[in-house]
Chains A and B, each alone.
Chain A
């Protein structure tokens, strides 16, 4: 009955409207997506990016995945247990098929982990993993070099690939399994995973078509999307227009200026999610002597009104931050609140002997984070109140990172998302003392160095008692808050727009990869 109704409605709709832009094949279960970017490649190990992880969750399945509340949900791994200090045994789901028709077994997991350790983008993250071994067809043991508390976090990145499909040589004599950055490899053009959707057609930069995998193992999922057409629409205004005009059913990254427009539209809904990407500034202690003084750093932090920026500039589209870890992360310390006190800041500047202030250069990107250039401008104005004159330069992303890597400015903006969804990752990249050998502090623009904090975080990272570990990380957050090794501004929220009847709310999460296999459309 419902089917008849839908069919009738769409026939009438097509006849009456005449100008409808739906292709004739469209049915109620076709989802037309307008994402700000399309996946760079089909090889999920070639690049670690948001777009690639979204693709991974469509065409592949992870061993475990994050829930909205940062819990682990079993996917291809059904159970896991710690066998000894360095070994975790995982039981795999039985009866799972790859898109190629091959059966999924433990050897695919082992093969995938080995490939991850070869990938330039994943190699560093999978450093703690020593190897994996298939005990039988549906049991796999993963060993780490040292006791490692974040193995399950890593398992969210293990999307088993079809080892048989990717083994062998292509006609031109290249290994099918090879990972080639920005090159024409077999894996970058062909994919076989276990995921809910098969890629049927792909025209890079124009569109990607998916169809639901008939033999998908998760028959309990209520998801009823049978076809996906993904069109990249990079321009913010165009993406929103595409949703409001009914051209697409689902968009990501609704810009702050259009939030109300989507919220109040009669034919679409806005879904906001608290994000996990911290936005902030780093102070270059190598170049500016004053920044070596903790009192000056505190003054800078006190002079910046995080809540004002989040409220007014971001229109509530951000959560003011006073630490790296967003709520839900293991090391989030609820006692730390954003500070804002101009008088106290001036006192501290005077105490440090900088009552007269000084001038600094600041750089910020203008197309990377939400409202990045405006935020930098606001911060520059706020610092003027404590006599720090800021000479701000903003630039597009492609120019920003080379400039950032040179560390040739006094303050720089950077946003960070922890690949492991864990507190320690922020410290290791943003505030650890720089060590070229180990790669620690790779994004520590300011050369900030506090060995006490480093030691605490390092100790936490080999502490397998999670309660104890969380306590240590919370302590580290508090220490960094006191010492102001990084100026935190806010965590940028995520906003999606969806057409009426596309119930996106249950399937989106703070990680920004919607689980579209479970999406229910009712029209």
Chain B
């Protein structure tokens, strides 16, 4: 176990190193940060002075060595735009992203398990067919579009006048299909509760939760169909296996067969995929956070790219690399608990 964790720690360090080299290597293609710092009419000599002060004129090796020297001491440089340490900036934006990912994960778990199991048990029922059809559409709609649609329907509101307003059924249908809006369409709201350090939470107030709903749904929308289909496929396979047949023959209640014997084995591959997908979700937050102006890491990263805020970009990429390593490690640990036949270090325990 300890050996496994140490190995993973080395992984994380290697990942950070590789990412930092790559990020530094491409920084010239990220644009000129000085351009974003000065007015358009500022003469070249002034720009050159700023470039010199920021050390942007040094060769790649010199810049990287300077960065690496500070980085091993925990100093990843100052963000040009935020004017404070990049790590600090990320720490401030991280809670918002984690809360969003948490809420989306919750939605995914709450919906994908029952729907997936149901459609595996009753594959021919109309409800199952509906969910399968809907999940195809869900997978195909980009998260950006989902977000805009959600905003239009639930934040701005839509007025349907498709049916004749003069008839009572027409008016009723129009009223039924129209929405009021009123849901918040951007930001985290002004009603956050401070927890600890940089962590202000949306989860403690009604207003905060309202702000969280639409972004969480749109972030979940991309993964939910995937998980429904995955759980359904795995479950169907498990239901065909010998031990399930045996359990049935033994006369164990179907309820127990489905939810205790079958579901447990269904979840094994789901956990693996799920862990990796949570990492991917951090990447999807870039889109979701941009549309909803959610002040998390994704939005911060996109802004940093637009401003060519190199220290922040490099640090963000390294942190995301670590997040991937950490989630994979946790997945492997959980996997070991769920399925004791798996040996983490590859040696007999």
Binding site for B on A (CB under 8 A): 17, 19-21, 23, 34, 40-41, 47-49, 120-121, 123-125, 181-184, 188, 203-207, 229, 231-235, 237-238, 241-242, 244-248, 367, 396-399, 401-402, 416-417, 419, 425, 429, 439, 442-443
Contacts and interface: CB of A to CB of B under 8 A. Distances in A.
B156 A121 contact: no
Residue among A23, A245, A419 with the highest chain B CB neighbour number at 10 A:
A245
Interface stretch (B44-52, B123-131, B271-279, B314-322): B44-52
Contacts of A244: 155-156
A233 B290 CA distance: 9
Interface string B156-191: 110000000000000000000000011111110111
25 contacts: A23-B207, A40-B81, A48-B41, A121-B39, A182-B33, A182-B54, A182-B78, A183-B78, A205-B82, A232-B293, A234-B293, A238-B186, A238-B290, A238-B291, A241-B152, A241-B186, A245-B151, A247-B155, A247-B187, A397-B306, A398-B35, A398-B36, A402-B32, A439-B44, A442-B43
A381 to B, nearest CB: 28
B42 A245 contact: no
B43 A124 contact: yes
Given A120-B42, A235-B291, A47 B37 contact: yes
B293 A21 contact: no
A21 B189 contact: yes
A442 B308 contact: no
Contacts of A417: 40
B81 A398 contact: no
Contacts, number: 163
B210 interface: yes
Contacts of A40: 37, 81
B81 A245 contact: no
Interface of B: 29-33, 35-46, 49-50, 53-54, 78, 80-84, 148, 151-152, 155-157, 181-187, 189-191, 207, 210-211, 290-293, 295, 299-300, 303, 305-308
Contacts of A442: 41, 43-44
A396 B306 contact: yes
A245 B183 contact: yes
A104 B134 CA distance: 67
B185 A242 contact: yes
A501 B46 CA distance: 45
Contacts of A397: 31, 35, 306
A398 B31 contact: yes
Nearest to A244: B156
Given A182-B37, A206-B295, A247-B187, 14 more contacts: A19-B210, A23-B191, A181-B53, A231-B187, A233-B293, A237-B291, A241-B148, A245-B151, A245-B155, A396-B306, A398-B32, A398-B305, A399-B29, A401-B31
